[in-house]
Amino acid sequence: MKIEKIWATIFAFTFMNVSAQDMKKKQDIEAIKSMCGCYEVSFKYSETFSPNEDYEKSKDYNARGLEWAELIVDEENKLSIQHLLIVKDSMIVKHWRQDWLYQNSNIHDYHKNNAWKFTAMTAEEVKGQWTQKVYQVDDGPRYSGSATWVHVDGKHYWENKTAAPLPRREYTKRSDYNVMLRGNKHEITDYGWVHEQDNDKIIREEGKDDVLLAKEKGYNIYTKVDDEKCKLARTWWKDNQHFWTSVRNEWDEIYNRNTDLSLKKSVNDKPLYEYLFGMDIETKKKDIAEVVGKFLKE
């Protein structure tokens, strides 16, 4: 009889633990999905500190935009959100993409000079965590990080620090640093969500310790508006999604090789996104593969 009670107790605790995990995962998924929709976005960045007394602080960066975030993959352990910018109410710019993977073990860590190192984590390291993988406008790699969604005291947030290439607002203007350590915090709010950043601008050289050039604070504030304001983007995605699915599939074949990855910044003085943006939406998979393949370094 005692053995039966012991087994009953073990079963009860196991059931409660599994139920709690399921509840937590549902909260995570709800938080991630709440980032979808139509948003007025403000982008604000300001450098806050440099260890170099002679360093001249860069100008603050402020911009605004209207953005549609479309849920394009909705699976048990994977959610994918495609962002689309609406420019002057008449033009759509395919923007960044974020994939969220539950208890994912494989990531590509940014190193430097357009190179990423493949990293395999253990199941224990990523237990209960979500990996956020962020991609360029051409669906090439940008940065990845794994962490736990936190739901406490009415707050819902995820935060992680990881290496990334220079942001678009700087890489065409600056060459005094080559890696950004992104401190990313995504917090769901009653008006939308906030991407808060505590970034380190790093000089990284082979065989040497990283050198901090400057620190930066960033706020990308997403304020929810009526989905009707993003109708143009929704229509554009409906018309173009099959082409970009083919592009994503080509990249997935590359990522799934689970090897280090190094990319050329341009081919014949043109970046990859210019080739892809200029293609017909009926372009065949083999032609997409050929273009993407030209940007892969041996």
Amino acid at 84: L
Claim: this prediction has a pTM higher than 0.75 = yes
Encode pLDDT of 224-250 as tens digits: 999 999 999 999 999 999 999 999 999
Which of residues 296 and 172 earns the better pLDDT score? Answer: 296
Task: Label residue 42 left, alpha or beta by phi (over 0 means left) and psi (-120 to 50 means alpha).
Answer: beta
Spatial distance between the Cα atoms of 113 and 236, rounded to a whole number of angstroms: 33
Tokens of 245: 């699915």
Q: Decide if pLDDT at 16 tops 80.
A: no
Q: What percent of the chain has pLDDT over 70?
A: 94
Calculate helix-pair angle for 231-255, 285-293, nearest 10 degrees: 70
Q: Decide if pLDDT at 7 tops 60.
A: no
Predicted pLDDT at 21: 84
Spatial distance between the Cα atoms of 243 and 237, rounded to a whole number of angstroms: 10
Q: Decide if pLDDT at 112 tops 60.
A: yes
Predicted pLDDT at 18: 56
